[in-house]
Amino acid sequence: MQEYSAKFQAKGIPLIHMQHDQKLPPPPAQGKLRARYSPVSAYRALAQHYGWAIQQVFDGLDASLPTADRVIILEEDIHTAPDFFSYMKATSVILDQDSSLLAVSAYNDNGHQVKDTHRILRSDFFPGLGWMMTRKLWKEELESKWPPAYWDDWLREPAQRKNRHVLRPEVSRTFHFGDKGGTSRNQFGSILSRVRLNQDAVDWTQQDLSYLHEQPFDEQYGKLLATASLATTIKDAIDRVKTSNIRVEYTSLDEFKRYAEDLDIMKDEKAGIPRTAYKGVVEVRPYDEHILFLTPVTAKLEASFPALAAMET
């Protein structure tokens, strides 16, 4: 602790250490909540600690803490990229302005098949693993109903997300190196260990990020989807994406999961949303160049991206 304190002081950054005297709350009474939350005490401990820590920051319960408008949350088993804080500083402006956003994350769950270090996308899936939220979100919505366990899955539920999106980079600005123990038991270790941590120090404060607001983003993304050729099978898509952007449609989550297995990407979903998906679209670069889009059928896609429909007609 003293070593870290000295390093922070050398940079003119105060380091404040608070100890949480953690006592697990009793499990929920009866019914669905008890069945869902009570079996795994570690998840309950984590949720209590997160809620306590966020409250300390936003309520200023420690006199040494300044009043915060936002908080960045990092677990202890995460490496950050050289431009992590530049990324957070620049995107905080968009987060403050845009009510269609829930949070900002520095992580890409499929970050092992990426290329563009300057690209940020919107997502319906909350990745966590290095993320930022506003005081407004906490005080007006989350604080009063913070869950007893599984806080991250809870945040992904429709009642909390309210159709809002998360900003996330194409190339991750965080890397999760914890591969032993932990509550998740490293269930995604084979993919997590290959996630590419950005080494290109982008000065995000000098980038024009206005395209990240929902309307301009959807217009640009719809046009990008329209330029991708439609493949009839995932095998055909994997072959053709070597030379150009390709799109292949899935008609159900089960079909999406089969495609994800073929692509060696995350296949799970929460609240019906695949990891990294934006309006049903999941994108990867199997050969680190052109993009392969897994998308809903054309009719649903056009309803979400009018620019796509306009270009196709």
Spatial neighbors of 223 by CB under 8 A, at least 6 apart, are: 307, 308, 311
Query: Which residues are marked as active site?
Result: 152
Helices of type H across 156-207: 158-161, 189-192
250 C-beta neighbours (distance < 10 Å), count: 20
Contact criterion met (CB below 8 Å) for 232 and 276: no
Closest CA to 134 of 52, 57, 20: 57
Q: State whether residue 176 is helix, strand or coil.
A: strand
Q: CA nearest 291: which of 258, 244, 227, 259? A: 244
Find how far residue 57's CA is from the centre of its chain.
22
CB 177 within 8 A of CB 77: yes
- Whole-angstrom distance, CA of residue 158 vs CA of residue 144: 17
8 Å CB contact between 126 and 108: no
Q: Provide CB contacts within 8 A for 264, sequence distance 6+.
A: 113, 191
The answer to whether 232 and 158 are in contact (CB under 8 A) is no
**Cβ(204)–Cβ(188) below 8 Å:** no
